Amino acid sequence: MGTVKIGINYCHHYEGLPKPEYQTAGAAGFDLLAAIDHDRELKPGDFQLMPTGIKIELPFGYEGQVRPRSGLALKHGITVLNSPGTIDSDYRGEIQVILINFSKNIFLVTRGMRIAQLVVSEITKVELAETLSLHETERNSGGFGHTGW
């Protein structure tokens, strides 16, 4: 496992919150916190854009993936709506997270709450080559549920 250094800037509304860090040595991502100035209610079925108060500078050839936290999903039905959200290497704005409440209960997002995680991954660019046909496979065009439930 390699290490890549990325630049980080903190927005004024991040002040007083702990620096992002990996929670364990084997963690794939580090937590993103809710950098909000007041508690926000997420009603059942509602979604909101939550600021994280950080901006990052990813090197060319890398992306950031905003992913849900499994504990929020399991215990509260809260997840990231456009999961995974992609942060491109040329984006320099504040990272924000679209949270949605799939539960039947109101969920309170509080300042500093761990709302998502960010995984940084190397990407591969592909070159698309138009062809008249594609090689056949055992699966071929079988789609959703074609191998059974």
Sheet order of strands, 30-33 included: 30-33, 114-122, 62-67, 85-87
Mean pLDDT, the chain, as a whole number? 94
**Extents of the domains making up the chain:** 7-122
Whole-angstrom distance, CA of residue 80 vs CA of residue 68: 5
pLDDT exceeds cutoff 90 at 43: yes
Annotated ligand binding at 105? The verdict is no
70 is in an annotated binding site: yes
Q: Which fold has domain 7-122?
A: Deoxyuridine 5'-Triphosphate Nucleotidohydrolase; Chain A (2.70.40)
Residue 74: enclosing H or E segment and its boundaries?
A: helix 70-76
| pLDDT tens per residue, range 115-144 | 999 999 999 999 999 999 999 988 888 877
The whole-number average pLDDT for the span 88-114 is 98
Instruction: Answer yes or no: is 111 a known binding residue.
Output: no
- Would you say 89 is a known binding-site residue? no
37 is in an annotated binding site: no
pLDDT at 146 over 80: no
The burial class, CB within 10 Å (0-12 / 13-18 / 19+), for 66 is buried
Residue with tokens 């050839």: 61
